[in-house]
Structure 1
Protein backbone atom coordinates (compact mmCIF):
# COMPACT_ATOMS: atom_id res chain seq x y z
CA UNK A 1 0.00 0.00 0.00
CA UNK A 2 1.37 3.40 -0.97
CA UNK A 3 1.25 6.33 1.44
CA UNK A 4 -0.18 9.36 -0.41
CA UNK A 5 -0.36 11.71 2.58
CA UNK A 6 1.38 15.07 2.21
CA UNK A 7 4.97 15.21 3.42
CA UNK A 8 6.92 17.96 5.13
CA UNK A 9 10.63 18.71 4.82
CA UNK A 10 11.42 16.06 7.46
CA UNK A 11 9.75 13.37 5.31
CA UNK A 12 7.22 12.48 8.02
CA UNK A 13 3.64 12.03 6.78
CA UNK A 14 1.54 15.02 7.86
CA UNK A 15 -0.62 13.16 10.44
CA UNK A 16 2.57 11.82 12.09
CA UNK A 17 4.16 15.27 12.09
CA UNK A 18 1.06 16.75 13.74
CA UNK A 19 1.09 14.02 16.42
CA UNK A 20 4.80 14.57 17.12
CA UNK A 21 4.35 18.35 17.37
CA UNK A 22 1.24 18.35 19.56
CA UNK A 23 2.44 15.60 21.89
CA UNK A 24 5.90 17.16 22.29
CA UNK A 25 4.52 20.67 22.85
CA UNK A 26 2.22 19.48 25.64
CA UNK A 27 4.67 17.20 27.41
CA UNK A 28 6.86 18.74 30.11
CA UNK A 29 9.57 16.12 29.57
CA UNK A 30 10.77 14.05 26.66
CA UNK A 31 12.82 10.87 26.99
CA UNK A 32 15.89 11.05 24.76
CA UNK A 33 18.38 8.32 23.87
CA UNK A 34 21.51 9.30 21.98
CA UNK A 35 24.54 7.05 22.22
CA UNK A 36 24.04 6.51 25.94
CA UNK A 37 21.21 5.75 28.32
CA UNK A 38 17.77 7.26 27.87
CA UNK A 39 17.21 10.43 29.93
CA UNK A 40 14.23 12.59 30.76
CA UNK A 41 14.93 16.13 29.54
CA UNK A 42 12.97 19.36 29.78
CA UNK A 43 12.62 21.07 26.45
CA UNK A 44 10.72 23.60 24.41
CA UNK A 45 9.03 23.05 21.04
CA UNK A 46 9.84 25.88 18.65
CA UNK A 47 9.98 26.25 14.90
CA UNK A 48 9.25 22.59 14.13
CA UNK A 49 11.73 21.01 16.53
CA UNK A 50 12.45 20.30 20.20
CA UNK A 51 15.23 22.41 21.73
CA UNK A 52 17.17 21.36 24.79
CA UNK A 53 19.99 22.94 26.77
CA UNK A 54 22.48 21.16 28.98
CA UNK A 55 25.93 19.68 29.60
CA UNK A 56 26.98 22.62 31.72
CA UNK A 57 27.24 23.25 35.46
CA UNK A 58 23.79 23.12 37.05
CA UNK A 59 22.09 22.02 33.83
CA UNK A 60 20.71 18.70 32.66
CA UNK A 61 23.14 16.13 31.23
CA UNK A 62 22.60 15.43 27.54
CA UNK A 63 22.81 11.69 26.78
CA UNK A 64 25.74 11.52 24.36
CA UNK A 65 24.02 13.59 21.72
CA UNK A 66 26.30 14.71 18.91
CA UNK A 67 25.73 17.21 16.14
CA UNK A 68 24.95 15.41 12.91
CA UNK A 69 23.83 12.29 14.78
CA UNK A 70 20.39 10.94 15.55
CA UNK A 71 18.42 10.37 18.73
CA UNK A 72 15.31 8.45 19.70
CA UNK A 73 12.71 10.64 21.41
CA UNK A 74 9.84 9.17 23.42
CA UNK A 75 6.99 11.49 24.34
CA UNK A 76 4.75 10.67 27.27
CA UNK A 77 1.26 11.82 28.10
CA UNK A 78 1.26 14.66 30.60
CA UNK A 79 -1.99 13.34 32.11
CA UNK A 80 -1.44 9.59 32.32
CA UNK A 81 2.33 9.29 31.87
CA UNK A 82 2.06 6.63 29.14
CA UNK A 83 3.95 6.73 25.85
CA UNK A 84 2.19 8.63 23.09
CA UNK A 85 4.70 8.62 20.28
CA UNK A 86 8.31 7.69 19.56
CA UNK A 87 10.23 9.63 16.92
CA UNK A 88 13.72 9.73 15.48
CA UNK A 89 15.43 13.12 15.52
CA UNK A 90 18.33 14.64 13.66
CA UNK A 91 20.55 16.36 16.20
CA UNK A 92 22.00 19.77 15.50
CA UNK A 93 24.06 21.97 17.80
CA UNK A 94 23.41 25.70 17.62
CA UNK A 95 26.25 28.20 17.44
CA UNK A 96 26.09 30.53 20.46
CA UNK A 97 24.68 33.97 19.67
CA UNK A 98 23.61 32.97 16.14
CA UNK A 99 20.11 34.08 15.10
CA UNK A 100 18.68 30.55 15.58
CA UNK A 101 20.44 30.22 18.97
CA UNK A 102 19.02 33.55 20.19
CA UNK A 103 15.48 32.55 19.16
CA UNK A 104 15.76 29.12 20.80
CA UNK A 105 17.30 30.51 23.99
CA UNK A 106 14.54 33.12 24.28
CA UNK A 107 12.03 30.24 24.34
CA UNK A 108 14.13 28.04 26.65
CA UNK A 109 14.73 30.85 29.11
CA UNK A 110 11.00 31.09 29.81
CA UNK A 111 10.84 27.36 30.65
CA UNK A 112 13.95 27.14 32.85
CA UNK A 113 12.81 26.82 36.45
CA UNK A 114 14.83 27.69 39.54
CA UNK A 115 17.87 29.04 37.75
CA UNK A 116 20.33 30.38 40.33
CA UNK A 117 21.49 33.11 37.94
CA UNK A 118 18.43 34.11 35.94
CA UNK A 119 19.94 37.44 34.90
CA UNK A 120 23.15 35.93 33.48
CA UNK A 121 21.72 32.57 32.47
CA UNK A 122 21.87 33.04 28.69
CA UNK A 123 25.49 34.21 28.81
CA UNK A 124 26.36 31.18 30.94
CA UNK A 125 24.62 28.95 28.41
CA UNK A 126 26.66 30.52 25.62
CA UNK A 127 29.94 29.96 27.52
CA UNK A 128 29.41 26.62 29.24
CA UNK A 129 26.45 24.71 27.75
CA UNK A 130 25.17 23.27 24.53
CA UNK A 131 21.85 24.14 22.93
CA UNK A 132 20.62 21.34 20.68
CA UNK A 133 17.86 21.16 18.09
CA UNK A 134 16.10 17.79 17.79
CA UNK A 135 14.34 17.84 14.43
CA UNK A 136 11.83 15.03 13.72
CA UNK A 137 12.82 12.73 10.86
CA UNK A 138 10.75 9.59 11.40
CA UNK A 139 7.83 8.62 13.62
CA UNK A 140 6.99 5.22 15.09
CA UNK A 141 3.31 4.65 15.62
CA UNK A 142 3.59 1.00 16.71
CA UNK A 143 4.80 1.24 20.28
CA UNK A 144 6.74 -1.65 21.85
CA UNK A 145 4.96 -4.18 24.05
CA UNK A 146 7.47 -3.80 26.88
CA UNK A 147 7.11 -1.16 29.59
CA UNK A 148 10.44 0.57 29.01
CA UNK A 149 11.04 0.72 32.77
CA UNK A 150 14.69 0.84 33.75
CA UNK A 151 16.82 1.11 36.86
CA UNK A 152 17.38 4.80 37.67
CA UNK A 153 20.73 6.17 36.54
CA UNK A 154 23.30 6.92 39.24
CA UNK A 155 23.32 10.53 40.40
CA UNK A 156 24.89 12.54 43.21
CA UNK A 157 21.50 14.14 43.87
CA UNK A 158 19.58 12.38 46.62
CA UNK A 159 16.82 12.99 49.09
CA UNK A 160 16.89 9.67 50.95
CA UNK A 161 18.73 9.89 54.23
CA UNK A 162 18.07 8.20 57.57
CA UNK A 163 15.49 10.04 59.64
CA UNK A 164 16.95 11.89 62.64
CA UNK A 165 16.56 9.96 65.90
CA UNK A 166 14.59 12.83 67.46
CA UNK A 167 12.00 12.95 64.67
CA UNK A 168 9.39 10.76 66.44
CA UNK A 169 9.59 13.07 69.46
CA UNK A 170 9.07 16.13 67.31
CA UNK A 171 6.09 14.65 65.53
CA UNK A 172 4.31 13.45 68.64
CA UNK A 173 1.27 15.58 69.35
CA UNK A 174 1.31 17.44 72.60
CA UNK A 175 -1.69 17.03 74.83
CA UNK A 176 -3.72 20.15 75.06
CA UNK A 177 -3.75 21.35 78.61
CA UNK A 178 -6.04 23.91 80.07
CA UNK A 179 -8.75 23.12 77.54
CA UNK A 180 -12.22 24.04 78.92
CA UNK A 181 -14.35 21.06 79.78
CA UNK A 182 -18.07 20.82 79.09
CA UNK A 183 -20.39 21.54 81.98
CA UNK A 184 -22.13 18.24 82.91
CA UNK A 185 -25.29 20.07 84.00
CA UNK A 186 -25.76 21.47 80.49
CA UNK A 187 -25.93 25.09 81.77
Structure 2
Protein backbone atom coordinates (compact mmCIF):
# COMPACT_ATOMS: atom_id res chain seq x y z
CA UNK A 1 0.00 0.00 0.00
CA UNK A 2 2.83 2.41 0.86
CA UNK A 3 4.45 1.64 -2.50
CA UNK A 4 1.25 2.74 -4.26
CA UNK A 5 1.49 6.22 -2.70
CA UNK A 6 5.17 6.68 -3.59
CA UNK A 7 5.05 5.17 -7.05
CA UNK A 8 6.53 7.54 -9.61
CA UNK A 9 7.82 9.95 -6.96
CA UNK A 10 11.51 10.41 -7.75
CA UNK A 11 12.21 13.35 -5.42
CA UNK A 12 11.67 13.90 -1.68
CA UNK A 13 9.14 16.65 -2.50
CA UNK A 14 7.31 14.30 -4.87
CA UNK A 15 7.16 11.61 -2.20
CA UNK A 16 5.91 14.18 0.28
CA UNK A 17 3.14 15.24 -2.10
CA UNK A 18 2.04 11.63 -2.51
CA UNK A 19 1.87 11.13 1.26
CA UNK A 20 0.07 14.45 1.80
CA UNK A 21 -2.49 13.68 -0.90
CA UNK A 22 -3.26 10.33 0.72
CA UNK A 23 -3.65 11.98 4.14
CA UNK A 24 -5.72 14.84 2.72
CA UNK A 25 -8.09 12.40 1.02
CA UNK A 26 -8.90 10.90 4.42
CA UNK A 27 -8.60 13.90 6.76
CA UNK A 28 -9.11 16.94 4.51
CA UNK A 29 -12.08 19.26 4.18
CA UNK A 30 -13.41 22.10 6.29
CA UNK A 31 -13.01 21.58 10.03
CA UNK A 32 -15.58 23.85 11.66
CA UNK A 33 -14.29 23.02 15.14
CA UNK A 34 -10.80 24.26 14.25
CA UNK A 35 -12.36 27.27 12.53
CA UNK A 36 -14.33 28.15 15.66
CA UNK A 37 -11.17 28.29 17.73
CA UNK A 38 -9.63 30.34 14.95
CA UNK A 39 -12.56 32.78 15.19
CA UNK A 40 -12.09 33.02 18.97
CA UNK A 41 -8.43 33.86 18.33
CA UNK A 42 -9.46 36.51 15.80
CA UNK A 43 -11.88 38.14 18.26
CA UNK A 44 -9.30 38.08 21.04
CA UNK A 45 -6.68 39.68 18.78
CA UNK A 46 -9.24 42.28 17.68
CA UNK A 47 -9.82 43.31 21.29
CA UNK A 48 -6.10 43.46 22.09
CA UNK A 49 -5.11 45.35 18.93
CA UNK A 50 -8.03 47.78 19.25
CA UNK A 51 -7.08 48.58 22.84
CA UNK A 52 -3.46 49.04 21.81
CA UNK A 53 -4.42 51.34 18.92
CA UNK A 54 -6.66 53.37 21.23
CA UNK A 55 -3.91 53.73 23.81
CA UNK A 56 -1.43 54.85 21.15
CA UNK A 57 -3.93 57.35 19.75
CA UNK A 58 -4.63 58.82 23.18
CA UNK A 59 -0.92 59.03 23.91
CA UNK A 60 -0.14 60.77 20.63
CA UNK A 61 -3.02 63.20 21.12
CA UNK A 62 -1.88 64.06 24.62
CA UNK A 63 1.70 64.59 23.46
CA UNK A 64 0.71 66.89 20.59
CA UNK A 65 -1.87 69.01 22.46
CA UNK A 66 -1.24 71.42 25.30
CA UNK A 67 -4.72 72.93 25.46
CA UNK A 68 -8.03 71.07 25.48
CA UNK A 69 -9.79 73.76 23.44
CA UNK A 70 -7.06 73.73 20.82
CA UNK A 71 -7.26 69.95 20.61
CA UNK A 72 -11.02 70.12 20.03
CA UNK A 73 -10.59 72.67 17.24
CA UNK A 74 -7.95 70.57 15.53
CA UNK A 75 -10.14 67.49 15.79
CA UNK A 76 -13.02 69.36 14.13
CA UNK A 77 -10.85 70.71 11.34
CA UNK A 78 -9.23 67.35 10.64
CA UNK A 79 -12.35 65.16 11.02
CA UNK A 80 -12.09 63.80 7.49
CA UNK A 81 -8.43 62.91 7.90
CA UNK A 82 -9.12 61.29 11.26
CA UNK A 83 -11.91 59.24 9.66
CA UNK A 84 -9.61 57.98 6.90
CA UNK A 85 -6.84 57.12 9.35
CA UNK A 86 -9.34 55.36 11.62
CA UNK A 87 -10.60 53.31 8.67
CA UNK A 88 -7.06 52.29 7.74
CA UNK A 89 -6.26 51.34 11.33
CA UNK A 90 -9.48 49.34 11.59
CA UNK A 91 -8.71 47.50 8.35
CA UNK A 92 -5.20 46.69 9.58
CA UNK A 93 -6.52 45.44 12.92
CA UNK A 94 -9.09 43.19 11.26
CA UNK A 95 -6.55 41.86 8.77
CA UNK A 96 -4.00 40.96 11.46
CA UNK A 97 -6.64 39.53 13.80
CA UNK A 98 -8.21 37.29 11.18
CA UNK A 99 -4.81 36.34 9.80
CA UNK A 100 -4.00 34.99 13.26
CA UNK A 101 -7.39 33.27 13.42
CA UNK A 102 -6.90 31.67 10.02
CA UNK A 103 -3.40 30.59 11.01
CA UNK A 104 -4.71 28.86 14.14
CA UNK A 105 -7.39 27.05 12.14
CA UNK A 106 -4.91 26.04 9.44
CA UNK A 107 -2.45 24.71 12.01
CA UNK A 108 -5.15 22.74 13.81
CA UNK A 109 -6.72 21.27 10.68
CA UNK A 110 -3.42 20.62 8.80
CA UNK A 111 -5.07 20.53 5.37
CA UNK A 112 -7.08 22.87 3.10
CA UNK A 113 -5.80 26.10 4.60
CA UNK A 114 -7.92 28.27 2.31
CA UNK A 115 -11.06 26.43 3.37
CA UNK A 116 -10.17 26.71 7.05
CA UNK A 117 -9.64 30.46 6.66
CA UNK A 118 -12.97 30.75 4.88
CA UNK A 119 -14.62 28.82 7.71
CA UNK A 120 -13.15 31.23 10.29
CA UNK A 121 -14.64 34.12 8.32
CA UNK A 122 -17.99 32.31 8.05
CA UNK A 123 -18.08 31.86 11.83
CA UNK A 124 -17.66 35.62 12.17
CA UNK A 125 -20.46 36.34 9.69
CA UNK A 126 -22.84 33.76 11.21
CA UNK A 127 -22.29 34.99 14.76
CA UNK A 128 -22.65 38.63 13.66
CA UNK A 129 -26.01 37.79 12.02
CA UNK A 130 -27.24 35.87 15.07
CA UNK A 131 -26.23 38.70 17.41
CA UNK A 132 -27.90 41.29 15.13
CA UNK A 133 -31.15 39.28 15.09
CA UNK A 134 -31.03 38.90 18.88
CA UNK A 135 -30.41 42.65 19.27
CA UNK A 136 -33.30 43.48 16.93
CA UNK A 137 -35.67 41.26 18.89
CA UNK A 138 -34.53 41.72 22.47
CA UNK A 139 -32.84 45.12 22.38
CA UNK A 140 -29.51 46.65 21.41
CA UNK A 141 -28.03 45.79 24.80
CA UNK A 142 -27.66 42.24 23.47
CA UNK A 143 -25.50 43.41 20.55
CA UNK A 144 -22.33 42.31 22.34
CA UNK A 145 -20.15 42.66 19.24
CA UNK A 146 -20.76 46.41 19.23
CA UNK A 147 -18.89 46.58 22.56
CA UNK A 148 -15.80 44.98 21.04
CA UNK A 149 -13.76 47.66 19.29
CA UNK A 150 -13.35 46.78 15.62
CA UNK A 151 -15.22 43.48 15.76
CA UNK A 152 -17.35 42.89 12.63
CA UNK A 153 -20.98 43.50 13.52
CA UNK A 154 -24.20 44.30 11.71
CA UNK A 155 -25.86 47.53 12.90
CA UNK A 156 -29.58 47.36 13.67
CA UNK A 157 -30.26 51.11 13.73
CA UNK A 158 -30.25 51.75 9.97
CA UNK A 159 -26.77 53.33 9.89
CA UNK A 160 -25.76 50.69 7.34
CA UNK A 161 -27.65 52.61 4.66
CA UNK A 162 -25.24 55.55 4.77
CA UNK A 163 -22.14 55.76 2.57
CA UNK A 164 -19.85 55.49 5.57
CA UNK A 165 -21.88 52.53 6.81
CA UNK A 166 -21.42 50.71 3.50
CA UNK A 167 -17.69 51.40 3.53
CA UNK A 168 -17.46 50.15 7.11
CA UNK A 169 -19.37 47.02 6.15
CA UNK A 170 -17.03 46.40 3.20
CA UNK A 171 -14.04 46.71 5.53
CA UNK A 172 -15.67 44.44 8.11
CA UNK A 173 -16.48 41.77 5.50
CA UNK A 174 -13.70 41.76 2.90
CA UNK A 175 -10.61 42.51 4.98
CA UNK A 176 -11.21 39.67 7.50
CA UNK A 177 -11.89 37.28 4.61
CA UNK A 178 -8.56 38.06 2.94
CA UNK A 179 -6.67 37.92 6.23
CA UNK A 180 -8.26 34.61 7.30
CA UNK A 181 -7.53 32.92 3.97
CA UNK A 182 -3.90 34.02 3.94
CA UNK A 183 -3.53 32.96 7.58
CA UNK A 184 -5.08 29.58 6.86
CA UNK A 185 -2.62 28.97 4.04
CA UNK A 186 0.30 29.97 6.29
CA UNK A 187 -0.87 27.63 9.04
CA UNK A 188 -1.20 24.74 6.60
CA UNK A 189 2.23 25.48 5.08
CA UNK A 190 3.85 24.82 8.47
CA UNK A 191 2.67 21.22 8.32
CA UNK A 192 4.01 20.80 4.80
CA UNK A 193 7.45 21.76 6.12
CA UNK A 194 7.07 19.20 8.90
CA UNK A 195 5.99 16.54 6.38
CA UNK A 196 8.97 17.38 4.19
CA UNK A 197 11.36 17.03 7.13
CA UNK A 198 9.93 13.57 7.82
CA UNK A 199 10.30 12.49 4.18
CA UNK A 200 13.86 13.84 4.03
CA UNK A 201 14.73 11.94 7.20
CA UNK A 202 13.20 8.76 5.83
CA UNK A 203 15.06 9.15 2.55
CA UNK A 204 18.31 9.64 4.44
CA UNK A 205 17.75 6.43 6.38
CA UNK A 206 16.83 4.36 3.33
CA UNK A 207 19.42 5.77 0.89
Q: Same fold (TM over 0.5)?
A: no
Q: TM-score, normalised by structure 2?
A: 0.27
Flag the structure with more relative contact order, 1 or 2, with Cα contacts below 8 A and sequence separation at least 6.
Answer: 2
Question: Whose strand proportion is higher, 1 or 2?
Answer: 1
Higher helix fraction (1 or 2): 2
| Greater gyration radius | 1
